[in-house]
Every structure is written in structure tokens, then in C-alpha cells.
């Protein structure tokens, strides 16, 4: 391998360092060119001419610029032109830019305004005469309007289409807004209403009719035939909504109906009619008979009444208070007393009868014991003196306490009664015979 002399390496290094230092100081062909607009100020001046009418487009701006040469001009960022004059402008704010041949720029804003409001202080009043349509739905109404407060008026009924005349014809009933506009576009308006004439003014419609009641309770074969006077072209309704040419309404049940008649102009009149069911009980006599079982004293009420009804339409229901009805014709567990039995048939026709539930008479065995008790026991057991809490003057006490009577008067348990000694055997036998027979009031 060939060696490079050390002097050659040192010389090359010095050359590279020299080149680096030269580049660091801006030397050589790589430095950027100087800014041509540095220190340059482009100033835009000018004058503006406003449009001569509101909304007009004859405004203009005339601009000049200093600060350079070869100046061109642009409006609102548009294409640059050699002239600084811009015409055909409406009211608004515009930015005029000026650019030199070196590309240096400057700008200025200009504002164009419309002339003063031509309607300031102007009040336009609109009045009119109206002619209503001659009949409901007709289109022969009219409005003739006039305006004051300015001049050169045109008129409109829709706010868009204007005409020289203030007369508007062929109008139907309704609300209209008439606008008047003067030569400067100033406007005023007023509302006018056309109304249809009332076709029912002075018209009185009378409704009469004949009725046919249903043939039976609950039947739907009743009818009403109505007739109206006072106008023409009638239709009829029984619900106020659905009308028909005929005044006859069939298949009706009992009830109240309002029949309305309406003429060709919509004028109405009405009358009420009532259909009634026939009386299902006319000529009907419900006869009630009873079979009575009397009450046995000293027991829970056990009397009864069994009713039978004829003369009406089955099935019947029955009541002993006229309010609560039952399908059974038998009333059980009755105490002695007076009852009114009512029978009601399928048509609610009723008939009544009185029923007296009595008490069964005392039986001979009980009567024998009662007599013996009154003689031997009642003197010490009565309403005033109730030894041992017993009152033997009350028949049902004898029935209720029969076992106690037997224990004391027959069995001497726990002691004999009366205290003077047991009763004769014949008297004691009466007690035994009665108890053995059942010990009831009726034995």
C-alpha cells in the first residue's frame, strides 16, 4: 500500500478550512438576493362618488398611488388594471389595492352609501270602499282603494303585483290587505274584509211530524215521519250530522229524538219527538197466594211462607220486603209477624198479598207441665222473685231449662224442689212424659 505524504494531507485540510470560512461569511453564489420592497411604502389615496338612488349602481371610486412606478390597481382582490378608476358600483365597502412593477403593494378601503331614505317622514294612508259578494260563495265582491300622503301611487292586493288602479274586482268573501306604493317606493297598507250575506236572515224553519211507538217493550219498530216548512230543498237528520232526503226514520226504539231539517242554503230548524214502549202491565193482574207454616215458640224462628203467582208472564221473582227479589218463592226462618209478599213477572208487573205467620199453640204435655210449674214453682220464681235466677212465669224459660227442672223436681239432684219435698209421683210423671216426647213448646 502506497503512503500519502503528510504534507499533502496538511495542505488539503487548510484548503477545506479556508473554503468553510468563506462560506460562513456569505461569500460565494449561494446568498439570497436583496428584498426590492425593503424600505418601500406604497400609499393609496382616492375619492368616491356615492350612487345617486337607493339601490343604484352608478357609484364610483377613483384611486391614485405613490411609492413606486408601473403601478396597477385592483378592487376587492380582483384582477389588476392600469387605471385606478372603478365605476358601476352599488353602496358598500370596497378595498382598492395598488401594486408597483416590483410587486410592492399598498391598499385602502372606501365606503359608498345610498342617498338618504326617500321615505323618511312620509306616511301613506290607504282607505277604500268595499262591496260584499251578492251570495254565499259568489266572487263578485270588490274593493276600491285610494291613498294619500304622497303621489304616483300604484296598488296591490298581494304585496307583489302592483297596478295603476286601486280597484280590485271579482273577489270572494275574505280578508284582503291593500298596499299603495308611491313613485319613490314608499308604501302604506290597510286591511279590508268582505263577508258573504247571511242566507238564513229572516228564515224560520219549522219541523212537525208524526210518531209510531214500538210495538212491545224493547222492540225497535218505532218510527218518526218529519216535515219541514219555511224554505225549500230540505234534508233531514236525527243526529244533526248525517242528513237524508226523506223525513222518515224507521227501526227506532223507545227514546227521545231530535229531528233537524236543513234547507238548500244550510238554514236549519229542529223539533224533539219521544217514542215510548207500550205498558206491558196494562190489563195484567198478578195474583199472589201463600201457604204459611207458623212459627214454633221457644226455638229459632222457623216459620215459613211459600208463595205462588199467576196472571203475569213467567218467570216470576219474589220479595218479602218489596226491594230484594229472589227466584225462590219460599221464605224460611220467619218469626211470627205480618209480611207482605210481592211477586214480579218477566215484564216487571207486580202483585202483592199479606201473609201472617203465627205461633203454634202449646202442646198438651207442655201445658200440663206449665200448669204444674205455675202452681208449685212460680211463687218463688217470678218477675219479682227470681231465686236462682229463674222465672218460671215465662213459658220459654220452662222449655230452655227443662233439664234443670227434671234434675231438681224429679231426680232431687243436687237437692229436691220444691224445698218442702218432692212433688207427688203423678206431677213428676208429667215432667218425665213431656221431656220424653221432645220437651218442646208444642209437645
163-192 pLDDT, tens digit per residue, is: 999 999 999 999 999 999 999 899 999 999
Report the C-alpha gap between 213 and 277 in whole angstroms: 6
Grid coordinates belonging to 404: 234443670
Smallest Cα–Cα separation from 116: which of 34, 46, 51, 168? 51
Q: Mind spelling out the 3-state secondary structure of 133-200?
A: CCCCCCCCEEEEEEEECCCCCEEECCCCCCECCCEEEEECCEEEEEEEECCCCCEEEEEEEECCCCCC
CB 422, CB 412: distance < 8 Å: yes
Q: What is the pLDDT of residue 20?
A: 39
**What is the rounded distance in angstroms from the CA atom of residue 3 to the CA atom of residue 227?**
144
How large is the angle between the packed helices 364-376 and 425-437, nearest 10 degrees? 140
Domains of the chain: 43-112 (2.60.40), 125-194 (2.60.40), 206-275 (2.60.40), 287-357 (2.60.40), 364-437 (no CATH)
User: Which pLDDT belongs to residue 34?
Assistant: 84
Task: Say which residues have a Cβ less than 8 Å from residue 409's Cβ, sequence separation at least 6.
Answer: 377, 416, 417, 418, 422, 423, 427, 428, 431
Burial 207-237 (b: 16+ CB within 10 A, else e): bebebebbeeeeeeebbbbbebeebeebbbb
Paired sense of beta strands 255-262 and 268-275, if any: antiparallel
Is the pTM of the predicted complex or chain greater than 0.85?
A: no
pLDDT in tens, 132-152: 999 888 999 999 999 999 999
pLDDT value of residue 209: 97
Name the stretches of the chain with pLDDT < 70. 1-32
How far is residue 177's CA from residue 128's CA, in Å, rounded to a whole number? 11
CB proximity list for 48: less than 8 A, separation 6 or greater = 59, 60, 61, 62, 110, 111, 112
146 vs 126: CA distance, rounded Å = 6
Contacts of 356 (CB under 8 A, 6+ apart): 292, 337, 338, 339
> Nearest CA to 166 among 183, 179, 175, 150?
179
C-alpha 296: how far from chain center: 65
- Report the b/e string of 178-206 with b at 16+ CB within 10 A: bbbbbeeebbbbbebebebeebbeeeebe
Cα angle at 422 between 419 and 428, to 5 degrees? 135
At residue 118, the pLDDT reads 81
49 Rama class: left (phi>0) / alpha (psi -120 to 50) / beta: beta
In sequence order, what are the residues at sequence separation of 6 or more whose Cβ sits closer than 8 angstroms to the Cβ of residue 355?
A: 290, 292, 305, 307, 338, 339, 340, 341
What's the confidence (pLDDT) of residue 263?
96
Report the candidate in 326, 376, 319 with the shortest Cα–Cα distance to residue 350.
319
Q: Is 101 helix (H, G, I), strand (E, B) or coil?
A: coil
Amino acid at each position: 500500500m502506497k503512503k500519502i505524504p503528510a504534507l499533502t494531507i496538511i495542505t488539503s485540510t487548510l484548503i477545506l478550512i479556508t473554503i468553510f470560512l468563506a462560506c460562513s461569511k456569505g461569500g460565494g453564489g449561494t446568498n439570497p438576493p436583496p428584498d426590492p420592497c425593503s424600505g418601500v411604502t406604497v400609499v393609496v389615496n382616492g375619492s368616491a362618488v356615492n350612487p345617486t338612488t337607493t339601490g343604484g349602481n352608478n357609484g364610483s371610486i377613483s384611486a391614485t398611488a405613490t411609492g413606486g412606478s408601473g403601478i396597477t390597481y385592483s378592487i376587492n382582490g380582483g384582477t389588476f388594471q392600469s387605471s385606478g378608476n372603478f365605476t358601476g358600483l352599488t353602496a358598500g365597502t370596497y378595498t382598492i389595492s395598488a401594486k408597483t412593477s416590483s410587486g410592492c403593494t399598498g391598499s385602502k378601503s372606501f365606503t359608498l352609501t345610498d342617498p338618504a331614505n326617500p321615505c323618511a317622514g312620509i306616511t301613506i294612508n290607504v282607505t277604500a270602499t268595499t262591496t260584499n259578494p251578492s251570495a254565499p260563495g259568489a266572487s263578485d265582491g270588490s274593493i276600491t282603494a285610494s291613498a294619500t300622503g304622497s303621489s304616483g301611487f300604484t296598488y296591490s292586493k298581494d304585496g307583489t303585483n302592483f297596478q295603476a288602479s286601486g280597484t280590485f274586482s271579482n273577489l270572494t268573501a275574505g280578508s284582503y290587505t291593500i298596499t299603495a306604493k308611491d313613485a319613490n317606493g314608499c308604501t302604506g297598507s290597510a286591511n279590508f274584509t268582505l263577508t258573504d250575506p247571511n242566507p238564513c236572515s229572516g228564515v224560520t224553519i219549522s219541523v212537525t211530524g208524526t210518531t209510531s211507538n214500538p210495538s212491545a217493550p224493547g222492540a225497535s219498530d218505532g218510527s218518526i215521519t218529519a216535515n219541514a216548512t219555511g224554505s225549500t230543498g230540505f234534508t233531514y237528520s236525527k243526529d244533526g250530522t248525517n242528513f237524508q232526503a226523506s223525513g222518515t226514520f224507521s227501526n227506532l226504539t223507545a227514546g227521545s229524538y231530535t229531528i233537524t231539517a236543513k234547507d238548500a242554503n244550510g238554514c236549519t230548524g229542529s223539533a224533539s219527538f219521544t217514542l215510548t214502549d207500550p205498558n206491558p202491565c196494562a190489563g195484567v193482574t198478578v195474583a199472589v197466594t201463600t201457604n204459611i207454616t207458623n212459627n214454633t215458640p221457644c226455638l229459632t224462628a222457623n216459620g215459613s211462607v211459600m208463595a205462588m203467582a199467576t196472571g203475569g208472564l213467567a218467570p216470576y221473582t219474589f220479595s218479602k220486603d218489596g226491594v230484594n227479589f229472589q227466584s225462590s218463592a219460599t221464605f224460611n226462618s220467619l218469626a211470627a209477624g205480618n209480611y207482605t209478599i210481592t211477586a214480579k213477572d218477566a215484564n216487571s208487573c207486580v202483585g202483592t198479598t199479606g201473609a201472617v205467620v203465627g205461633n203454634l199453640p202449646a202442646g198438651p204435655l207442655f201445658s200440663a207441665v206449665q200448669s204444674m210449674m205455675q202452681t208449685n214453682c212460680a211463687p218463688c220464681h217470678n218477675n219479682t222473685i227470681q231465686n236462682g235466677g229463674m222465672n218460671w212465669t215465662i213459658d220459654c224459660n220452662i222449655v230452655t231449662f227443662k233439664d234443670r227442672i227434671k234434675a231438681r223436681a224429679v231426680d232431687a239432684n243436687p237437692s229436691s224442689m220444691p224445698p218442702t219435698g218432692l212433688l207427688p209421683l203423678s206431677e213428676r210423671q208429667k215432667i218425665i212424659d213431656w221431656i220424653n216426647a221432645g220437651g218442646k213448646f208444642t209437645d
